[in-house]
Amino acid sequence: MPTIAILPGDGIGPEVTDQAVRVIEKLNELFDAQFEVQTQPVGGTAYEMHDHPLPDSTLSLAKSADAILLGAVGGPQWEKVDRQLRPEKALLGLRSELDLFSNLRPAMLFPELADASTLKPEVVSGLDIMIVRELTGGIYFGGPRAIEGEAGSRKGYNTMVYTEAEIARIARSAFEMAMQRDKRLCSVDKANVLEVSELWREVVTEVGNSYPEVELSHMYIDNACMQLVRAPKQFDVIVTTNMFGDILSDAASMLTGSIGMLPSASLDSNGKGMYEPVHGSAPDIAGEGKANPLATILSVAMMMRSTFGNEEFAAAIEAAVKQTLADGLRTGDIAREGEATVSTEAMGDAVVDRM
Ligand code: NAD
């Protein structure tokens, strides 16, 4: 029986994961899917209970489960906690312990929500791009790194480093993704300035020889940022390094104008993954029943497709979300001025009813 670890976390995390669990239960009912869900605390909530944001019991469930669904972590009450014990450390711990090197961040805009974007509706309506970001290497982890020297003449430095093996595995992940989509992959680097990018480009091109059906292009990061706001629909799949992906994926998510709608996945080399909404714990609305659960529900759809290889389940969830939006149901974050809004639970009800 496939097990899904549910790590609700903090703030609105439990509210949105509750609705996603109802969607998983609905899959069990409709398709006799037999998913078993098991829940453990993570982040600040876990710190309160076990003095650690990623207790052993949570990590061992994450390791033994077939897939993980995470809500969100963090909140103002833990900002003064020792850096090593902050809620966000749980995310880094899960990524490194489970070797989740491939971060998938789709930016898609349901046509019903085109006017939520700050860009013109015709530029973004129907947008559907996938950013594949390398998540466990590059400048965020590379050494040497330090701030050193005497006050007044200190220097700070980091190292952007990638091995051929690290580049090849993220490239394969991106080509595989492109094969499931429109078969176009754009690799983003800074090969005109950085040696590490020169190697990146070489290795991505080599990996591409095994995927002759995928049209591979290369773009410098500065141009990619420009193109992403000028004509975002030119992209299908983008693959890039940890830091460039961090920046590009946030910019891409803002194109859609509604952070409460965006799912994400972080995968290991066997397709096991941790799925989570892109948004944080939204302490400003936590406990008020105002959170949009659709990003978390769409994360379950990604899980069905990427970890369980089940297109039918993924499509059933996505179609229900689409119908919910078409029927005019809106949480506050995606409602137009003066439009009626529904609660987190009512949004969950609507999706489950339409599955
Ligand atoms: P946030 O994403 O939590 O909130 C930003 C804004 O978007 C807020 O106004 C919030 O109300 C709104 N929002 C977010 N998700 C929403 C949803 N589902 N429905 C409706 N509105 C939603 O970002 P923040 O305010 O910068 O961070 C709050 C906390 O979350 C911090 O502690 C931060 O460290 C943490 N955080 C965690 C993650 C994660 O767990 N992956 C990611 C980002 C931020």
Summarize pLDDT for 264-278 with one digit per residue, the tens: 999 999 989 999 999
Band of pLDDT at residue 4, cut at 50, 70 and 90: very high
192 vs 250, more confident: 192
Question: For residue 285, how far is its CA from the centre of ligand 1 (angstroms)?
Answer: 9
Band of pLDDT at residue 256, cut at 50, 70 and 90: confident
Distance CA 121, CA 114 (A): 5
DSSP 230-289: H-GGG-SEEEE-HHHHHHHHHHHHHHTT-GGG-EEEEE-TTS-EEEEESS---TTTTTTT
Residue 69 CB coordination number (10 Å)? 26
Q: Considering the chain, tell me which residue range(s) the CATH 3.40.718.10 domain(s) occupy.
A: 1-101+271-355, 106-267
Distance CA 99, CA 171 (A): 16
Mean pLDDT of the chain: 95
Question: For residue 280, how far is its CA from the centre of ligand 1 (angstroms)?
Answer: 3
Q: Which residues line ligand 1 (CB under 6 A)?
A: 12, 16, 72-75, 88, 91, 259-260, 276, 279-285, 291-292, 295, 331, 333
Q: Nearest residue CA, atom 7 of ligand 1?
A: 282
Among 89, 281, 321, 351, residue to substitute to test ligand 1 (most atoms within 8 Å of Cβ): 281
Summarised one tens digit per residue, pLDDT across range 38-79 is 999 999 999 999 999 999 999 999 999 999 999 999 999 999
Q: Nearest residue CA, atom 16 of ligand 1?
A: 260
Band of pLDDT at residue 167, cut at 50, 70 and 90: very high
Summarised one tens digit per residue, pLDDT across range 283-303 is 999 999 999 999 999 999 999
Summarised one tens digit per residue, pLDDT across range 185-234 is 999 999 999 999 999 999 999 999 999 999 999 999 999 999 999 999 99
Q: Nearest residue CA, atom 8 of ligand 1?
A: 282
Pick the CATH number of 1-101+271-355 from 3.20.20.70, 3.40.50.2000, 3.40.718.10, 2.20.25.90: 3.40.718.10
Classify strands 128-134 and 184-189 as parallel, antiparallel or unpaired.
unpaired
Residues taking part in catalysis: 140, 190, 222, 246, 250
Q: Nearest residue CA, atom 33 of ligand 1?
A: 74
The percent of residues in the chain predicted with pLDDT above 70, rounded, is 100
Residue 329, classed as helix, strand or coil, is: coil
Q: Nearest residue CA, atom 11 of ligand 1?
A: 282
What's the rounded mean pLDDT across residues 241-257?
A: 90
* Closest residue by Cα to residue 9 from 86, 64, 80: 86
Summarised one tens digit per residue, pLDDT across range 300-326 is 999 999 999 999 999 999 999 999 999
Instruction: Give residue 126's pLDDT.
Output: 86
Q: Does domain 106-267 have CATH number 3.40.718.10?
A: yes
Instruction: Give residue 179's pLDDT.
Output: 96
Order the strands of the 36-39 sheet from edge to edge.
Answer: 36-39, 3-9, 67-72, 273-277, 263-267, 102-108, 128-134, 237-240, 184-189, 215-220
pLDDT of residue 257 exceeding 80, the answer is no
Distance CA 327, CA 59 (A): 40
Instruction: Give residue 143's pLDDT.
Output: 95
Question: For residue 30, how far is its CA from the centre of ligand 1 (angstroms)?
Answer: 32
pTM to 2 decimal places: 0.92
What's the rounded mean pLDDT across residues 140-168?
A: 96
Question: For residue 335, how far is its CA from the centre of ligand 1 (angstroms)?
Answer: 18
Q: Which atom of ligand 1 is nearest to the CA of 344?
A: 19
Band of pLDDT at residue 115, cut at 50, 70 and 90: confident
pLDDT of residue 83 exceeding 90, the answer is no
Among 259, 284, 288, 296, residue to substitute to test ligand 1 (most atoms within 8 Å of Cβ): 259
